[in-house]
Amino acid sequence: MAPHPQPDSRAPKIGPQAAAVVTGSFLSGAMASLSTMVTPLFLDTDNEPAQLLRHWARLYHYGHLALPALSVATCGLYGYTALSKRASGRANWRRYAVAGAMTIAMVPFTWYVMVPTNNTLFRLEASARKSESGSGSLAELSVIQELVVRWAWLHIGRSVFPLIGAIMGLSGLVQELGR
């Protein structure tokens, strides 16, 4: 039986940074799929304003449950990696810090860029619920569709932040493995 090779103690430990790259990539892909697959499905099949608004509100609800937490977790992994690299005097710590900052940048983008569209859609959805009970009026389907399309484009823009973070993290990982 051949002896097992001893592990190289100089090999970089890549657990947290690899996990950050994977979670950041997953986050970006999950977010992009909402805009590129789910939203067009709603636009193609929902022919009632209230139905489209209800579907968008549920999509937002479920996305809001998981995606911001995944963004924070990914940023935390990059932050841990950056701090570990900095403490050990490694020069590439900045790359992981930038990757974390890019990943979490989706949050202020949401607050400052997307909130007006989100609030309008939520207000229309509340109006649709009132309309169903006979006490409110509802916007035209074409107006709601335009808002949902605007939201989808903004959401695609937001999904680019964790993608850039994943690319930065991957470049740091490749650099480490190449040493």
pLDDT per residue as tens digits for the range 78-133: 999 999 999 988 778 999 999 999 999 999 999 999 999 999 999 999 998 887 66
List, in sequence order, the alpha helices (H) in 5-48.
15-33, 39-45
Whether the model clears a pTM of 0.75, i.e. scores above it, the answer is yes
Q: Where are the domains of the chain?
A: 15-177
The residues, any chain, with a CB within 8 Å of residue 130's CB and separated by 6 or more, are: 136
Question: What is the Cα–Cα distance from 162 to 179, expressed in whole angstroms?
Answer: 26
**pLDDT tens by residue, 53-63:** 999 999 999 99
pLDDT tens sequence across 131-179:
766 555 567 999 999 999 999 999 999 999 999 999 999 999 998 888 6
In whole angstroms, give the CA distance from residue 68 to residue 65: 7
